């Protein structure tokens, strides 16, 4: 299924952001890039996370991908936003299950943790997975309460 996606990174995640954006665009997805525009100038990850989350909560994109050095800072910033379920991960199994079971709407990756090839694989897995609902919805409702 073709989706509207949003992506952002700080300087530590710039390279994987660019690789992910190119791959997902080639797959036919519409990818809104909120920056940063280079990997050399130091920027503040919370501002990028907040901007990306606003795009999702306003319904302008279905899923988001945030990239920083480890993915941890971005996930902490994103999860402070109401309606966001962000997951930092570095393996394919978690990329699939965080959508299947947790209905995550933001993937967080670290450019110092995964290389471009792995980042693209994880992003494609995340975007391609679907929420299973059922017993998992009760837990999502508890998170949102």
Assess contact for 9 and 17: CB atoms under 8 A. yes
What does the alpha-carbon distance between residue 94 and residue 37 come to, in Å, rounded to a whole number?
29
Assess contact for 75 and 48: CB atoms under 8 A. no
Report the chain's C-alpha Rg in angstroms.
Answer: 14
How many CB atoms are closer than 10 A to CB 2? 9
Catalytic positions are: 68, 101
């Amino acid at each position: 299924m073709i989706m509207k996606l949003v992506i952002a990174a700080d300087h530590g995640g710039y390279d994987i952001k660019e690789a992910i954006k190119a791959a997902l665009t080639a797959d036919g997805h519409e990818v809104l890039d909120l920056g940063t525009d280079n990997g050399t100038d130091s920027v503040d990850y919370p501002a990028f996370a907040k901007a990306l989350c606003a795009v999702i909560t306003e319904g302008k994109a279905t899923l988001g991908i945030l990239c920083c050095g480890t993915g941890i800072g971005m996930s902490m910033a994103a999860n402070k936003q109401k309606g966001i379920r962000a997951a930092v991960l570095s393996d394919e199994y978690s990329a699939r299950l965080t959508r299947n079971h947790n209905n995550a709407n933001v993937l967080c990756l670290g450019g110092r943790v995964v290389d471009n090839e792995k980042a693209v694989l994880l992003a494609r897995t995340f975007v391609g997975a679907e929420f299973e609902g059922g017993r998992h919805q009760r837990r999502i409702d508890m998170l949102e309460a």
